[in-house]
Structure 1
């Protein structure tokens, strides 16, 4: 199986890259990044591209599955327009390129609370990209909606760091419908995504009707524990 990974330098994407490269079921992992990737592996094809012109590397999107961990924050983006450009437009362009070249599965990192009807701009954009990719008709479209992602980021976020320190206590208080908002380790989300890739059958998906699966906190934990990553 050939897999393309977007967002390989991010918090969850870094873990996904390691896990995908370790899977014996995956023969090649292609990454598309804006800057050269500081990583080397026999199965890795690292592509540097301008995300404003992804069509220039369209040939690399001829894969079985795409894993998208691409995203930013409003603060990092600097404006709502720029945020939407990254979290919506770039992701959708990549999804279209993959689908046009026969990709059969798309795994998207979204966020809990995503809805195109949300009054919250961040959640609304996340909901809009979910709907847009669903309309492309991927035989397998899995949407990951974790709560606060925990882990060591390359760029420090003071607010998230403070929240992470009290998250274990908050998690215990979040029961019922609120459990979907519990904090979760980014490595756990990545493990779930990698384990899902492991189960994909491109030949079977080629004949399958489009399916959309939404994975929230409990589902992500269960999938992450379904099978350990290869050491």
Structure 2
């Protein structure tokens, strides 16, 4: 018998989020996909329900966040956010608010995209923010939250990021040279990250943080 689950997706218009909705649409375990965002995601499917809102609207989140698994693919860049404060609002503030609502509503799991190198102890602003986000969500959700830390993401973005195409070419070229402890720095397909998110949401296990190479290994074992 198929389980009839509801997925709650934040960040559906990004590189991983777009792939995630495609994966969820094909997964019979989910009969509804709720997408939260400021603008329409462009997905038109019988399983998709869009909730157009500012993510700071806590009262609406409390009303609409009914379901089973939360998938958080939120993330921006300093260039797009323009200020560090605006960046932290998207990469730390919104995930924290979502986690707080999830905790109050007893959501089963929250699967979150973080970043390779995330650490609250680093001087790198981007990685420090990601590390602080992980710590905040761990404090709120305990063993209900899972983090994926992908390396350089491969895939087609809807937005243009100058220099990224050259980066993709370089990462594909040198990636095979990364071995041992360096293996986690290999570039990874956004679709693979999306597949891993859904797999992790539906598995049982003690592991809650997955480095980029561990994401790849997890999918290989799953598909073997």
- Under a length normalisation based on structure 2, what TM-score does the superposition of the two structures give? 0.91
Distance 1:17 1:166 in 2: 28
**1:144 and 1:84 mapped to 2: Cα distance?**
19
Matched, 1:162 2:166: yes
SS at match of 1:199: coil
Which of these residues, 52, 71, 82, is aligned with residue 78 of structure 1? Answer: 82
Give 2:217's match in structure 1, choosing from 202, 222, 227. 222
Report the CA distance between 1:2 and its aligned residue: 1.6
Q: Does 1:174 align with 2:188?
A: no
1:92 partnered with 2:87: no
How far apart in 1 are the matches of 2:207 and 2:79?
30
CA distance in 2, matches of 1:226, 1:47: 35
- Aligned residue number for residue 14 of structure 2: 10
Change (3 A) 1:212 1:77: farther
1:133 alignment partner, one of 126, 129, 137: 137
- CA RMSD in angstroms, aligned pairs only: 1.7
SS in 2 for 1:37: coil
The answer for unaligned runs of 5 or more in structure 2 is none
Structure-2 separation of matches of 1:181 and 1:149: 11
Q: What are the residue-to-residue correspondences of 1:24-173 with 2, within 5 Å?
A: 24-173=28-177
Shift of 1:48: 0.3
Task: Please report how far the alpha carbon of residue 175 of structure 1 lies from its aligned counterpart in structure 2 after TM superposition.
Answer: 1.8
Greater relative contact order, per chain length (Cα 8 Å cut-off, separation 6+): 1
Gap regions ≥5 residues in structure 1: 206-210
SS in 1 for 2:44: coil
